[in-house]
Structure 1
């Protein structure tokens, strides 16, 4: 088996107010979702070809059961996201500082070596943008996967259950001319969620390693530098209060073909198909090989990778929903106590 990774413990911070939803007790899986799909459980070197794409790991129910639970747990997910936003907006300053400190402690302390490498790998503009990031809890869900693996449906079905005012969704395609002239992380930083929000990357900064590797447009040293810069970048985000969940939606080539063909079979789905999808499919094996090394290199307890079989859409959605619930529940937040006299406010309302 590969090297062991621990599961980050829930934050242990004393807070006032009313305790938020106790979500973990209703986990529909027979194992901890924070470790059930971790890439670290597989033998090294990782071989995605050996990772099942249809197995319902940790779940004994069928499709109807999964869809029912997905609907039931949507309210819990929405409540937890609102709780995080309420904390940022109304929790006492000292409690916010305590939570920030606890979140920061999830990432390793910066070393002199890392400081030097930041200077070498980051542009001044990237460093300035990182320093300007507000501190505070927020969740970043990174979705990666081959075409038709279900990233867009995940955003609609799972993330869509939360208040849209508290969700920031970004999709990263080919850089524009302006973006191509910048450091590749600048466009990523511009789309990061603000404190209290859930951010979703439908494809992400990992595309800036995957695509150049397939195309052969960067040297091996440049690619190695980018991987290292991703590691440092994510550590810095955690130090700023980010909770990072990275998901590889692992689809089989057979299921991908079926889904891509279905887009051609239905006129209302033609817009979702691009001829370049065929080019990417021809490189399916190449992408899988690159993912093998990339997932291993960038998996960490503070920014874990989860490989979830995506041949069953309902299952992958249920899995990601539970990952989000677990991550938000682990913040152990409380609904902020009222800073005013509740009885007096009620009385005035009735008299108004």
Structure 2
């Protein structure tokens, strides 16, 4: 089972930090801890998505103008933290790297014989081999879920786009191909995971492999439950190998979704973004809400938390995701790798 907790994971206790973190200074956007503010575990059980307000500006004072300015202002901090993550993986002393890897792995319970047995039943040999080949090391995995037009692409462009693209891996998961349908459904997901030092973004994700079968009724309740268990075990293994997982559902009202979908039909520059299946999904909105609520609650864990972010205001959703990324990177407690050469000697050589 997932480790349910209201409080977020603490920063890694590795004593490497030379960075003050996102909570210092008067320009922080939110009055409450962003690690807690949108957590599923704070919303009560059973989770009822229709009770979560989609236009609420939780923890934020001000409007669009202030939010847009802060988004630009905080982009520099996010970019610097991304650079620090890559620098650690590329050049930190081995002792520092081992300390961070060990601290990340300690966030998840050790694998038990029962877990190993269950994995052998739920994972294919190919999946186990792929996981075995994953290198250890810190990296971020941002999972974006939400109904059509909830703003996933806008987050990728406006928030993730502020980081160095050489250190960002973005993957979008649509319908599996015929070849992928012959594989275990996790194989195509593992192939898109980020390398250590990178920030990975899933625009839709492995959760589609539970959500779609549950909504369509193509799988029985027992089969859906097995897939949920598979994802829990999968994310545990990722966390052991250094993945910092941030899962976000962009929560959009039916009224705002309708306005955004109609705007796509009204503009020739947006018509390519519309798919007739969007209307089919909208007709099943109640079913999606019910399945989403059960899925988010079942797969929320301290090491892989779900955040439900109100998405009717695009600027607010983007600012919230940005702050989650900043907090996750800062909590790694990394420091700039020290030079392993004589700085003054190298300065003289260059000047000569």
TM-score by length of 2: 0.97
The residue that corresponds to 2:19 in the other structure is 20
CA distance in 1, matches of 2:342, 2:214: 61
Confirm or deny: 8 A CA contact 1:24 1:329 kept in the other structure. Answer: no
Confirm or deny: 8 A CA contact 1:140 1:200 kept in the other structure. Answer: yes
4+ residue runs of structure 1 moved beyond 6 angstroms?
none
CA distance in 1, matches of 2:271, 2:241: 41
The gaps in structure 2 that reach 5 residues or longer are: none
- SS of the residue corresponding to residue 201 of structure 1 reads strand
Match runs of 1:56-135 below 5 Å: 56-135=57-136
Confirm or deny: 8 A CA contact 1:144 1:203 kept in the other structure. Answer: yes
CA distance in 2, matches of 1:221, 1:113: 19
Q: Cα distance, 1:23 vs. partner?
A: 2.7
- SS of the residue corresponding to residue 268 of structure 1 reads coil
The residue that corresponds to 1:194 in the other structure is 195
- SS of the residue corresponding to residue 278 of structure 1 reads helix
Match runs of 1:1-352 below 5 Å: 4-15=5-16, 19-20=18-19, 22-26=21-25, 27-351=28-352
Confirm or deny: 8 A CA contact 1:20 1:335 kept in the other structure. Answer: no
CA distance in 2, matches of 1:185, 1:175: 11
- SS of the residue corresponding to residue 46 of structure 1 reads coil
Q: Cα distance, 1:109 vs. partner?
A: 1.6
Q: Cα distance, 1:4 vs. partner?
A: 4.5
Q: Cα distance, 1:346 vs. partner?
A: 1.4
The gaps in structure 1 that reach 5 residues or longer are: none
- SS of the residue corresponding to residue 174 of structure 2 reads coil
- SS of the residue corresponding to residue 335 of structure 1 reads coil
CA distance in 1, matches of 2:93, 2:33: 32
CA distance in 1, matches of 2:256, 2:215: 22
CA distance in 2, matches of 1:20, 1:45: 39
CA distance in 2, matches of 1:274, 1:7: 38
CA distance in 2, matches of 1:192, 1:272: 25
Q: Cα distance, 1:275 vs. partner?
A: 0.7
Q: Cα distance, 1:6 vs. partner?
A: 2.3
Q: Cα distance, 1:342 vs. partner?
A: 1.0
Q: Cα distance, 1:148 vs. partner?
A: 0.1
TM-score by length of 1: 0.97
Q: Cα distance, 1:21 vs. partner?
A: 5.2
CA distance in 2, matches of 1:330, 1:300: 17
CA distance in 1, matches of 2:184, 2:62: 46
CA distance in 2, matches of 1:336, 1:19: 10
Q: Cα distance, 1:33 vs. partner?
A: 0.2
- SS of the residue corresponding to residue 201 of structure 2 reads strand
